[in-house]
Amino acid sequence: MALAKMKKISVCARKRNRSKILDALQRMGVMEIETKLEEDFQLEKTDTTEARASFLKQAVVLDNALKVLDRYAPEKKGLLSGLDGGDELTQEQFNNMKSDKTAACEDAATVIKLEKEIDELKAAITRDEVRKEMLGPWLGLDLPMNFSGTKTTSVFIGTLPGAWDRAAVLSAIAAHAAKAAGEADGAAEAGAEPFPAEVEILHNANDATYVDVVCLKKDTEAVQAALRANGFARPSQIEPGIPAHTAEKIEADIQARELKITETEDKIAAYAGRREYFKVLSDYYNTKAEKYRMIADIPHTENAIFFEGWVPAKQVPAVEKVLTEQFGAVVDIEEPLPDDEVPTLLKNNKISASVESVLESYGLPKQGKVDPTFIMSIFYIIFFGMMLSDAGYGIVMVIGCGLALLKHPGMATGTKKMLQLFFWCGLSTTFWGFMYGSFFGDLIQVVAETFFGWTGGTILKPLWFEPLVQPMKLLTYCMLFGLIHLLTGLAIKGVEMLKEKDFVGFFAEVFSWFLLVIGLVLMLVPTDLFASISGQTYSIPDGLAMAAKIMAGLGALIILFMSGRSNKNWALRIALGLYDIYGITSWLSDVLSYSRLLALGLATGVIASVINMMASMVSGGILGPVIFIIIILVGHTLNIAINLLGAYVHTNRLQFVEFFGKFYEGGGRPFTAFKRISKHTQIKEDN
């Protein structure tokens, strides 16, 4: 429940040491550098645009080469290998790989060039396949597609719309020729001699007929006119040579290109051994680009540089030692001023740190404000367990997350925190599962009764009570936990007010609500209404009952007269006070929101029991046990997946809406250290 204390460091150093200083700070990764160009001094900035662009270009080439290798020579990885962080290297290994950067960058460029060749070959194959497909209808043609005839004949090669046969084409030519000569259509169709032409149907498709028409030179115009009148069209794309021969040549070209692609893919795969170099150098050039961005931002004179920044207080001595002893810099260390925008760095124990990502998704606290992570983590883990509430599911979570954390210690920080969070939530789920007597629903009972004929009663008895039997009792406790959660949030608000010495605000906005809410709850407990809800009757001593009425009345009076205290108009102040008292209804709705602890807990148990019942119904016969196991595995896997998501979402909601709504503002700026880029690799510093 704390934020890392920050200190401001101002640095003045020799300009000639600028590059080495930034290297050292980048390697330490504990300082957020701020650069401001003071107008009172003649300071300049260095233009590093060209150098930075060059480094980024090299990094892009290396990253693209890695993507190419992943496509053509993928690494053999385990199922959970994606959890691993970057490859860990010693400083010596990093330096050795860095020394080979020129050759490695050339190899990366070669890999990209080879893939470009493959892309060009594939594009050529696509074009060839299109050409070959277009030649398909013409394969029966034993003439070149652009052949127009001999000295004595004319040849028409093309298509007619629709379906035609040889006789229909000849008849259409004869009819058109007869009509052109002035003869009656009927006479032409009935008694005219067949027109002297030869027609070959090459291919018949649904929407077109591919034809080859040969006629004498003297009949060229007549045949051409007849064909045109019936929609004849020349081929849109004409290939040289006889179509069948051209198709064979195209097929040979396709096979040659496919062979070339295989050879080129093998060449790319041969560079798989350079993958680690590409990773290291990609991070190296990205780091260099980040360094040169900072160089461009740092103001300087002819001989000196000036910058300042934020460092966690614990790291200040180490940073100061490096800057002063190694580079002779002048370092000034200051406490943050009230107007400074201090970055936020969360600092919590191992359990609470796992919930930091939940807080960060809502918003970081400002420096000097309370960090609610520790308190939130307690409620978060408890509420999550109550929602999932099955010991079997909890054990699965614990084992799965535990093994992942043990086998992949170098995973990314965000992923590690999330798995740690689910590990602790798994323990909570296991606890509440045994409290409620749920282990994969009632699986133990079903197995014992179905396969072993157990008749001795309940095997796994709840350590507390069974929610399915006493749901209203659980609802009562859920609302009690919710009330404690809300009052805790209100108490944190009170602590913040006391830290700021706003004693009047604490009295009017926190203390008064504690009196009113607790007083009303104590007044409600012994009533018949509460007894009907909880299913149990409670009684409190008369003195406590009177104290509850006094507390509620006093709290209401304080709110009535004090909540609108900034307004001098008493009528308006009272009106504002009445409106704020009406806010008790929001407390009621907030408390009722915690009924989701009951709803999701019951849903998990009911669905699990239904799955077990379905499995038991088909457990007979030789294959019965096999079918039983399949249903159990599939059903409970789906159930844990669905309810795990539901528990995560609704636990977050209880924090974001109900808990944070009582006190939390957020608005903090995350601490962003100037450090190495470690997208692919992690460098282990020498001791």
Q: For 489-543, how does the pLDDT look when each residue is reduced to its tens digit (9 = 90+)? A: 999 999 999 999 999 999 999 999 999 999 999 999 998 888 887 777 888 898 9
Question: For the chain, what percent of residues have pLDDT higher than 90?
Answer: 73
Instruction: Give the C-alpha separation, 27 to 291, whole Å.
Output: 11
Structure-block tokens of residue 283:
């991070």
* Arithmetic mean of pLDDT, 143-169: 93
* Arithmetic mean of pLDDT, 14-32: 94
Computed over every residue of the chain, the mean pLDDT equals 90
Please determine, for residue 185, whether its predicted confidence score (pLDDT) is greater than 90. no
- What's the pLDDT band for 184 if we cut at 50, 70, 90? very low
What is the residue whose two structure tokens read 């209808």? 137
Instruction: Give the C-alpha separation, 655 to 377, whole Å.
Output: 10
Instruction: Give the C-alpha separation, 157 to 148, whole Å.
Output: 8
Question: For the chain, what percent of residues have pLDDT higher than 70?
Answer: 95
What is the residue whose two structure tokens read 């919590």? 348
User: Which pLDDT score is estimated for 261?
Assistant: 96
Task: Report whether 33 contacts 307 (CB < 8 A).
Answer: yes
Helix residue spans in 79-184 (DSSP H): 91-98, 101-135, 166-180
Structure-block tokens of residue 205:
């498709």
Please determine, for residue 188, whether its predicted confidence score (pLDDT) is greater than 50. no
- What's the pLDDT band for 195 if we cut at 50, 70, 90? confident
What DSSP character marks residue 15?
G
Instruction: Give the C-alpha separation, 374 to 353, whole Å.
Output: 8
- What's the pLDDT band for 666 if we cut at 50, 70, 90? confident
Instruction: Give the C-alpha separation, 365 to 1, whole Å.
Output: 11
What is the CA angle 664-667-670, rounded to 5?
Answer: 120
Maximum Cα interatomic distance, the chain, rounded to a whole number of Å: 129
Task: Report whether 653 contacts 386 (CB < 8 A).
Answer: no
Task: Report whether 101 contacts 284 (CB < 8 A).
Answer: yes
Of 94-98, 301-305, 491-495, 661-665, the range with the lowest mean pLDDT is 94-98
* Arithmetic mean of pLDDT, 150-158: 94
Distances (CA, A) of 577 to 509, 559, 617: 11, 6, 62
Please determine, for residue 160, whether its predicted confidence score (pLDDT) is greater than 80. yes
Q: Which helix (H) or strand (E) holds 450?
A: helix 443-451
* Arithmetic mean of pLDDT, 249-261: 96
* Arithmetic mean of pLDDT, 6-35: 94
Predicted TM-score (pTM) of the model is 0.83
- What's the pLDDT band for 687 if we cut at 50, 70, 90? very low
Please determine, for residue 1, whether its predicted confidence score (pLDDT) is greater than 60. no
What is the rounded (10 degree) CA torsion for 109, 112, 118, 119? Answer: -130
Cross-strand partners of 198:
214
- What's the pLDDT band for 193 if we cut at 50, 70, 90? low
User: Which pLDDT score is estimated for 104?
Assistant: 93
Structure-block tokens of residue 683:
């460098």
Of 35-49, 92-106, 443-457, 610-624, the range with the lowest mean pLDDT is 35-49
Class of domain 146-234: alpha beta
Of 2 and 253, the structure prediction assigns the larger pLDDT to 253
Structure-block tokens of residue 222:
């007549």
Task: Report whether 154 contacts 217 (CB < 8 A).
Answer: yes
User: Which pLDDT score is estimated for 683?
Assistant: 80
User: Which pLDDT score is estimated for 385?
Assistant: 97
Give residue limits of the domains in the chain. 146-234, 350-465+488-662
pLDDT in tens, 263-275: 999 999 999 999 9
Please determine, for residue 180, whether its predicted confidence score (pLDDT) is greater than 80. no
Structure-block tokens of residue 620:
């007979």
* Arithmetic mean of pLDDT, 595-616: 95
Please determine, for residue 553, whether its predicted confidence score (pLDDT) is greater than 70. yes
pLDDT in tens, 309-322: 999 999 999 999 99
Instruction: Give the C-alpha separation, 311 to 34, whole Å.
Output: 11
User: Which pLDDT score is estimated for 665?
Assistant: 85
pLDDT in tens, 370-419: 899 999 999 999 999 999 999 999 999 999 999 999 988 878 888 899 99
Measuring CA to CA, which residue among 647, 681, 636, 81 is closest to residue 396?
A: 636
Measuring CA to CA, which residue among 434, 387, 391, 402 is closest to residue 601?
A: 387
Instruction: Give the C-alpha separation, 371 to 363, whole Å.
Output: 11
* Arithmetic mean of pLDDT, 547-576: 88
DSSP states along 394-411 = HHHHHHHHHHHHHH-TT-
Measuring CA to CA, which residue among 229, 216, 88, 143 is closest to residue 680?
A: 88
Of 192-196, 288-292, 302-306, the range with the lowest mean pLDDT is 192-196
Please determine, for residue 17, whether its predicted confidence score (pLDDT) is greater than 50. yes
Task: Report whether 361 contacts 407 (CB < 8 A).
Answer: no
Task: Report whether 214 contacts 154 (CB < 8 A).
Answer: yes
